[in-house]
């Protein structure tokens, strides 16, 4: 029996504790909060979207993307579902999104904590780990009030997103003290701040769009969905899916630009928009351009977009020159926004960056740099899309890391 100490009692830490205890190890969790799984309670708007049927690898991101397919395997995905089934969690599945049948995140958090306790996992709350040292006998872990010894350690401290939950990045400095490097942590799944004199005018408007991200004028990724226009820039799931790329690009000094199609149902490019407007003009006689679009988009948004084309809403479509039609089309289906920053970690759902996957054995989640040190969850350089992917990675990495010493 080995003494296993897990630093961090979040999603991945709880899972690794349960698995390690089932392997008959003596398991202790050191948790800095007064409860374990605090971040779980805030996921999925309090409902906890803990899994998704669509496990395409494209939903996961890392600076070492070649390693992802070695972590997110079909076998491990099945192990996640089996794990929750054996815990008695019955899923409520909506369009591939998994929630506990109670629709309460506390159901997942409470089940994991109670299972860990039932198995005999010890938990020390409100404890802050200040130092880890490795010697010939194992690990010495120092906290403010006490010193612990362990044969093996699992670092599951999380990242830096939402620091009010205790995510301050301390795990990175602990890992660095043991010889690891850290890819700069940046906010992901977060809102974007943009330029534009019209931001106050469109604040509060929602629209269904297609949105492309370009870095230094090179296409990166496209998303579809509802966008929220704000007085600082843009938000919404489709924006947040792009935010990790944006944060990394801005940090590297790249120009980050969003290209928004506000009429994806009717036109995919400028020529299609012009044809659409020609048809509208034939159908609806004696209407100005604002009136032709009034029933399709929010009237305040129509005003902003027409104004961006330096046109008056009172002008008729057939009075526009070819060039003016093209400029107006560009504003509606290729509207460009320069991104100047992301919102802070206080607003972010997850962290981009962390411990490089190249420094981790993908079969065991053990460090390649120091023996008997394992990693799980958001401390690693993996971030997922909205839709249960970040929790899925937490479950998978926790399941694997919890098998500490299995291949020793």
Query: Would you say residue 407 has pLDDT above 70?
Result: no
For 216-239, write each residue's pLDDT tens digit.
999 999 999 999 999 999 999 999
Higher per-residue confidence, 294 vs 142 = 142
Q: Taking 70 as the threshold, does the pLDDT of residue 115 lie above it?
A: yes
The pLDDT value recorded for residue 395 is: 98
The phi-psi region of residue 181 (left if phi > 0; otherwise alpha if psi is between -120 and 50; otherwise beta) is beta
Q: Can you give the pTM of this predicted structure?
A: 0.95
11: left (phi over 0), alpha (psi -120 to 50) or beta: alpha
Contact 174, 155 (CB under 8 A): yes
Q: How many angstroms separate the CA atoms of 171 and 31, rounded?
A: 12
Question: Residue 9 contacts by C-beta under 8 Å, 6 or more apart in sequence?
Answer: 17, 29, 30, 31, 33, 36, 37, 123, 156
Burial of residue 294 (number of CB atoms within 10 Å: 0-12, 13-18, 19+): middle
Q: What is the CB neighbour count within 10 angstroms for residue 259?
A: 17
Residue 307: strand, helix, or coil: helix
Rounded to an integer, what distance in angstroms lies between the CA atom of residue 71 and that of residue 373? Answer: 18
Both tokens assigned to 356? 């490089």
Q: Domains in the chain, ordered, with CATH?
A: 3-187+351-401 (3.50.50.60), 191-343 (no CATH)
* Span 352-372, pLDDT tens digits: 999 999 999 999 999 999 999
Q: Which residues have CB under 8 Å from 271's CB, separation 6+?
A: 329
pLDDT score recorded for residue 294: 87
Q: Over the stretch 128-178, which tens digit does the pLDDT of each residue have?
A: 999 999 999 999 999 988 999 999 999 999 999 999 888 889 999 999 999
38 burial via Cβ count (<10 Å: 0-12, 13-18, 19+): buried
Measured distance CA(170)–CA(378) in Å, rounded: 12
What is the mean predicted confidence (pLDDT) over 111-133?
Answer: 97
């Amino acid at each position: 029996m080995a003494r296993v100490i897990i630093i961090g009692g979040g999603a991945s830490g709880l899972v690794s504790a349960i698995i390690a205890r089932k392997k008959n190890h003596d398991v202790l969790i050191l948790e800095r909060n007064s409860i374990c799984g605090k971040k779980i309670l805030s996921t999925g708007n309090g409902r906890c979207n803990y899994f998704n049927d669509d496990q395409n690898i494209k939903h996961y991101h890392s600076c070492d993307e070649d390693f992802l397919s070695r972590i997110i395997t079909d076998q491990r995905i099945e192990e996640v579902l089996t794990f929750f089934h054996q815990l008695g969690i019955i899923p409520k599945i909506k369009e591939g999104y998994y929630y506990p049948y109670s629709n309460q995140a506390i159901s997942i958090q409470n089940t994991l904590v109670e299972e860990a306790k039932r198995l005999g996992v010890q938990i020390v709350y409100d404890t802050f780990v200040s130092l880890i040292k490795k010697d010939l006998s194992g690990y010495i872990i120092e906290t403010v009030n006490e010193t612990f010894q362990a044969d093996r350690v699992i670092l599951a401290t999380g990242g830096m997103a939402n620091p009010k939950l205790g995510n301050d990045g301390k795990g990175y400095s602990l890992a660095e003290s043991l010889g690891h490097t850290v890819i700069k942590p940046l906010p992901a799944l977060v809102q974007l701040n943009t330029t534009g004199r019209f931001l106050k005018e469109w604040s509060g408007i929602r629209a269904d769009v297609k949105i492309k991200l370009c870095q230094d004028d090179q296409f990166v990724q496209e998303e579809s969905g509802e966008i929220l226009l704000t007085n600082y820039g843009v938000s919404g799931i489709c924006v947040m899916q792009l935010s990790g790329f944006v944060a990394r690009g801005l940090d590297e000094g790249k120009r980050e630009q969003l290209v928004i199609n506000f009429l994806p149902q009717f036109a995919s490019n400028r020529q299609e928009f012009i044809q659409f407007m020609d048809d509208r003009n034939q159908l609806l006689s004696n209407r100005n351009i604002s009136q032709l679009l009034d029933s399709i988009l929010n009237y305040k948004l129509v005003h902003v977009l027409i104004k961006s084309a330096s046109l008056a809403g009172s002008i008729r479509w057939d009075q526009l020159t070819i060039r003016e039609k093209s400029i107006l089309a560009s504003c509606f289906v290729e509207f460009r926004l320069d991104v100047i920053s992301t919102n802070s970690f206080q607003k972010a759902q997850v962290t981009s960056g962390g411990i490089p996957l190249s420094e981790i054995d993908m079969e065991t989640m053990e460090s390649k740099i120091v023996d008997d040190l394992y990693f799980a969850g958001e401390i690693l350089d993996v971030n997922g899309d909205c839709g249960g992917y970040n929790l899925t990675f937490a479950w998978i990495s926790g399941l694997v890391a919890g098998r500490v010493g299995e291949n020793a």
